[in-house]
Amino acid sequence: MKHHCALWELCTALGFLTVHAVQGIVVRHDAALASAYLTAPSAPSCSLGNVSDASMVASLADGKPCNFIPAGNCDSPLADASIGEHGLCITNELKKAVSDKTCLVYGIGIADSWEFEKAMARHGCEVHAFDPTIAKPPTDESKTLPNLHFHRWGLAGATERTGKHKVEGTLDGAKFTEQPMFRLEDMMKELGHTGRRLTVLKIDCEGCEWNSLSVVPDELWSRVGQMSLELHFSDGLMLDSPAQVHKAAKVAAAIQRTGFTKWRPDIREGWPWHRHLLPELLNAGMPSGMCCRLGGFYRKGS
């Protein structure tokens, strides 16, 4: 059975399992998982230094085996931006940024849908969408949304304007791109955004998040208002070695250290060939057969 609810919290409160397909991939909004995550404070607490990398990554995914990333609720999801996979929480910071015209949104990873970016542009935000694996965005919005911009760039752990760069999960099956790749701070510098607050950071780049976010300095983390992240835990989507698990643990530590709360813990099954996890993640308690999580993060009180 398929249910359609306008508000994700309402769906889960009613006990529905909502299912929809994005690019043919099943996305599940599971009430049981959400409930389990949001009661995670009853799980043992853990902190940097007393927990393994794999346990930190597992906690980032599901709040288990220990409570590393604080969990919370969103009283007011931004309904018209909750399109497809991504969504936002209406915080005071977001309302103020939209009101005073300082709203800046980066959308990393577009493929065949930039509905989220279009929705934020309709709110009046300055929106920049990035994807090095496609030649042009899915639709031409240049006349109707002049504040929506597309860049054929990728987010990475090192800035490299030339050369061949590894990518995964592309529409055409390509494993490499020769488009420019940027660290987040260099991307912002390239666009003249150095020092600006990044109101929203959306990332959906099929595994590039671990390399790219593991090198973001705390000063830049502190300028990110909220995030919608598709997090990939499959060994077929770049989380494929202990070194990559360590980078993912660094991302978890940065999210915790810089004051984020996780309000949206959705699961994504993914393609069958993307459902295999490294043994250390399974040993840390992550369930098998689930490739990804759709995480919404904000700062309480913001």
Dist. CA 163–CA 177, nearest whole Å: 8
What are the residue boundaries of the structural domains of the chain, listed by start? 8-298
Per the structure block, which two tokens stand in for 254? 């940065």
The residue among 284, 290, 209 whose CA lies nearest residue 252 is 209
- CA–CA separation, 299 vs 302, rounded Å? 6
pTM metric for this prediction? 0.86
- What is the distance between the alpha carbons of residues 155 and 213, in angstroms, rounded to a whole number? 9
Give the tokens for residue 99: 């009101």
* pLDDT at position 14 over 80: no
pLDDT 10s digits, 52-106: 999 999 999 998 888 888 999 998 998 765 555 788 999 999 999 999 999 999 9
Q: Which two tokens stand for residue 64?
A: 């288990």
Q: Hey, what are 246's tokens?
A: 């360590």
Q: In this predicted structure, what is the pLDDT of residue 84?
A: 56
**pLDDT in the model for residue 83:** 56
Cα-based distances in Å from 194 to 106, 121, 220 = 13, 21, 9
The answer, yes or no, to whether residue 11 has pLDDT greater than 60, is: no
| DSSP track, 114-175 | -HHHHHHHHTT-EEEEE-TT-SS-SS--TTT-TTEEEE--EE-SS-BSSS-EE--S-TT--S
DSSP 247-272: HHHHHHHHHHHTT-EEEEEEEE---G
The answer to whether the CB of 106 falls within 8 A of the CB of 131 is no
pLDDT digits (tens, 9 = 90+) for 211-269: 999 999 999 999 999 999 999 999 999 999 999 999 999 999 999 999 999 999 888 88
Nearest Cα neighbor of 177 from 219, 135, 138 is: 135
Phi, psi of 282 (to 5 degrees): -65, -40
Quote the pLDDT of residue 42: 56
CA distance 237 to 87: 22
131-174 pLDDT, tens digit per residue, is 999 999 999 999 999 999 999 999 999 999 999 999 988 999 99
Say what the pLDDT of residue 82 is. Answer: 58
Q: Residue 98: which of 77, 121, 71, 118 has the closest Cα?
A: 121
Longest dimension (CA), the chain: 54
3-state secondary structure 202-252: EECCCCHHHHHHCCCCHHHHCCEEEEEEEEECCCCCCCCCHHHHHHHHHHH
